[in-house]
Amino acid sequence: MTLIEHLDELRSRIIKVGVVFILATIAAWFFRKDIFYLLLDPAGNLLHGKLYVTSVAEQFISDMKLALYVAFVLTIPVILYQVWAFVAPAVGDMGRTFTYILITLASSLFIAGIVFGYLFVVPVGVQFLLSWDTERYVTIITPTYYLAFVTRFLLACGIVFELPAATYVCAKLGLIDAAMLKRYRRHAIVANTILAAAITPSPDPFSMLLLAVPLIMMFELSIIIARYVNPTTEVTAHELARDETDDDNDVSEEDGPEEDGPEEDELEEEPDGDDLDETPDDHSEDGHERDL
């Protein structure tokens, strides 16, 4: 395909994603109140079911952001499918079954990450931060800060849960395997901690730890996925390591006789020295006999 054809295909796929996104936004607008109270639930009774606005249009803009956020989450499967369909020819023919498995796995993991964050991570983080020293601070939270914190945290959890899907693709292409991931486990822990600090919407270390723990857990799950998706490379690595061990043993066994060799040669050379010592005596005796 030429460059113009690639651009036309990209334009058509962006249009498809845009149409689905607009339809999802319209549908989410009618449920904006339910979405609003759903995102307030992680705070418990600390906010009393209300948020304070400090500008005239803040409440309207907040509802628009909620609708766009929900529309983005609902459009994730379409986005993943269109992106993969566009780049799939560049990585080879992976098959229709592989495409469906990939899209289903990536979409399910993203939704699972959001659900996990909503049920376990966000409530702990929000309630801990809102309950911090209430005797000195009065909590007046605006939707601009609260909804942005919660939605970004949920998106971060969804992105974190995409790590096994990325591992599945790379292992299927033969780029990584379980042995490689195990070898760089310590480096991955440090990298995951830095990544959690980068994508956490709040600068506090408590929120970073809440996101770093699931990220490390997803890395361990990725090792298991790579072991079953691409087991050949790992088996080959063990066989090569075993062959190298056998070769080293063979070389050590061959080195043993070579060390004994010079000693035997020295032993063989010693009688030759005696023969040389005896030779003058023979000549002297022959010379004496000649004189006689």
Number of domains observed in the structure of the chain: 2
Residues 127 and 192 both lie in one domain: no
Same domain, 76 and 195: no
Residue 261 lies in a domain: no
Distances (CA, A) of 185 to 34, 195, 222, 250, 260: 42, 15, 11, 33, 46
Q: Which domain holds residue 54?
A: 1-158
Position 280 scores a pLDDT of 47
CA distances, 158 to each of 8, 36, 153, 155, 267 (Å): 31, 19, 9, 5, 78
Tell me whether residue 269 is in a domain.
Answer: no
Residue 271 lies in a domain: no
The predicted pLDDT at position 52 comes to 93
pTM of the predicted structure, to 2 decimals: 0.73
What does each of the 292 residues of the chain score in pLDDT, given as a tens digit?
Answer: 688 888 899 999 999 999 999 999 999 999 999 999 999 999 988 888 889 999 999 999 999 999 999 999 999 999 988 988 888 776 665 667 777 888 888 999 999 999 999 998 899 889 888 988 888 998 889 999 999 999 999 999 999 999 998 898 888 888 888 888 999 999 999 998 898 888 887 777 888 888 888 889 999 999 999 888 887 544 455 554 565 565 556 555 555 554 444 444 444 444 554 444 444 444 444 444 444 3
Please indicate, yes or no, whether residues 172 and 136 belong to a single structural domain of this protein: no
3-state DSSP of the chain:
CCHHHHHHHHHHHHHHHHHHHHHHHHHHHCCHHHHHHHHHHHHCCCCCCCCCCCCCCHHHHHHHHHHHHHHHHHHHHHHHHHHHHHHHHHHCCCCHHHHHHHHHHHHHHHHHHHHHHHHHHHHHHHHHHHCCCCCCCCCCCCHHHHHHHHHHHHHHHHHHCCHHHHHHHHHHCCCCCHHHHHHCHHHHHHHHHHHHHHHCCCCCHHHHHHHHHHHHHHHHHHHHHHHHHCHHHHHHHHHHHHHHHHHHHHHHHHHHHHHHHHHHHHHHHHHHHHHHHHHHHHHHHHHHHHHC
Let me know: does 144 contact 58? Beta carbons within 8 Å: yes
Residues 6+ apart with CB under 8 A from 174: 230, 233
177 and 135 co-located in one domain: no
Q: Do 150 and 42 touch, CB atoms closer than 8 A?
A: yes
Q: Is residue 148 part of a domain?
A: yes
pLDDT at 94: 61
